[in-house]
Amino acid sequence: MTNPIPLGVLGYPAGHILSPVLHNKAAEVLGLNYHYLAYEVHPDFLEEAVRGAQAMGFRGLTITIPHKVAVAKLMDELSEDARLMGAVNTIVFEEDGNLVGHNTDGIGWLRFLEETTGEHPRGKKCLVLGAGGAARAIAVKIAQCGAAHLDIRNRTYDKALELAQFVEKSVPSSKVNGGGLDDLYSVADGCEIIVNTTSLGMWGDAERMATTPIPENAIPEDCICSDAVYIPPDTEFLKAARRAGSQIVRGTGWLVYQAAAAWKMWTGVDMPTDIVMEVLNQSLELRLGGES
Ligand code: NAP
């Protein structure tokens, strides 16, 4: 067998990154000769790492925290999503030497939302909690989808306002408000989709893991609640949403579907998402060590 075609992810730090598990499982199941590794790259060496991967015959790269915005400047071309989001999470090394930057966070989230609930943000009142990198991708995607209204709420008020303005500029037809976390009861009232993109609920800190980004009794009945956090898969927010009578959309699905979109660009083949989801859940169980 010839050497595998290299794929990888660049992040800083990189020890916690789960995407090798997903992509290597896909390669194994499909019998394709790709191998995917995680690389810890300091921001000062990002350009060298990208050029080096291209020189070594990589087919593509995943780009994660903190490089998603900085790497966009190194691309020869950007997909529409990457341009509108101002961030790249997937690079394709084209045969003609071009570096094409994509962003699969929004489309991965949307596909999983549609598959899980049969619903779409078009015409809906939506609320995004958080204003960091994940919020940027989701807020732009919700706006592109033609939501009736979008609110972005964040602990740091100014960042929510900045993101709201950014989204309205990227998608001129959109109506977006930004603000703090103080009046979530009135903001959430009548919402049909709520997406948590804060790190509240995430494993690694007991207090953070026990916290929801919105009070349980502010979650409207019959709402769709989606979490970016995937460890644990059932966050306190999703548990509260279920008790409130909402449908839930797990962060694990979002993670797998954004990876599946990148995998298809690199290999031309669909990722076997059911099997990959199973292996992700097994890895998370091991990492949680029975705490979930
Ligand atoms: P980020 O850019 O660092 O943003 C973090 C966000 O969380 C900010 O809005 C921050 O608010 C907020 N936050 C942090 N601590 C908080 C607290 N104690 N109270 C209230 N808000 C708090 O990170 P990111 O890249 O957006 O990622 C956010 C989460 O999404 C992470 O858990 C990440 O693993 C997850 N994620 C998942 C996927 C997926 O595929 N499922 C994809 C992307 C990200 P301030 O602005 O006030 O600091």
Query: Which residues are marked as active site?
Result: 68
Residue-wise pLDDT for 21-68, tens only, equals 999 999 999 999 999 999 999 999 999 999 999 999 999 999 999 999
Helices 133-144 + 105-117 axis angle, to 10: 60
Rounded Cα–Cα distance for residues 102 and 113 (Å):
20
The low-confidence residues of the chain, meaning pLDDT below 50, are 292
Strand partners, 195: 128, 226
Q: For ligand 1, is residue 209 a contact (CB within 6 Å)? A: no
Instruction: Note the pLDDT of residue 5.
Output: 98
Residue-wise pLDDT for 116-127, tens only, equals 999 999 999 999
Q: For ligand 1, is residue 230 a contact (CB within 6 Å)? A: yes
Rounded to whole angstroms, the maximal C-alpha distance in the chain is 61
Instruction: Note the pLDDT of residue 51.
Output: 98
* C-alpha 16 to ligand 1 mean position (Å): 15
pTM over 0.85: yes
Q: For ligand 1, is residue 211 a contact (CB within 6 Å)? A: no
Instruction: Note the pLDDT of residue 153.
Output: 98
Instruction: Give the whole-number percent of the chain exceeding pLDDT 90.
Output: 96
Instruction: Give the whole-number percent of the chain exceeding pLDDT 70.
Output: 99
Strands 149-153, 176-179: pairing kind: parallel
Check whether the bond before 6 is cis (ω within 30° of 0). no
Choose one of 128, 184, 198 to mutate for the ligand 1 pocket test, by most ligand atoms within 8 angstroms of C-beta.
Answer: 198
Instruction: Note the pLDDT of residue 15.
Output: 86
H or E stretch at 38 = strand 34-40
CATH number corresponding to 106-249: 3.40.50.720
Instruction: Note the pLDDT of residue 290.
Output: 56
Rounded Cα–Cα distance for residues 228 and 69 (Å):
19
Average pLDDT over the chain reads 96
Choose one of 81, 141, 155 to mutate for the ligand 1 pocket test, by most ligand atoms within 8 angstroms of C-beta.
Answer: 155
Q: For ligand 1, is residue 92 a contact (CB within 6 Å)? A: no
Every domain range in the chain assigned CATH 3.40.50.10860: 5-103+253-287
Q: For ligand 1, is residue 202 a contact (CB within 6 Å)? A: yes
Instruction: Note the pLDDT of residue 16.
Output: 87
Rounded Cα–Cα distance for residues 256 and 253 (Å):
5
Where do we find the tokens 């609640």? Answer: 225
Q: Would the CA dihedral through 73, 198, 42, 284 be positive or negative?
A: negative
Class of domain 5-103+253-287: alpha beta
Every domain range in the chain assigned CATH 3.40.50.720: 106-249
Choose one of 19, 103, 197 to mutate for the ligand 1 pocket test, by most ligand atoms within 8 angstroms of C-beta.
Answer: 197
Which two structure tokens, joined as six digits, stand for 34? 């790709």
Instruction: Note the pLDDT of residue 250.
Output: 98
Instruction: Note the pLDDT of residue 289.
Output: 83
Instruction: Note the pLDDT of residue 292.
Output: 41
Instruction: Note the pLDDT of residue 217.
Output: 95
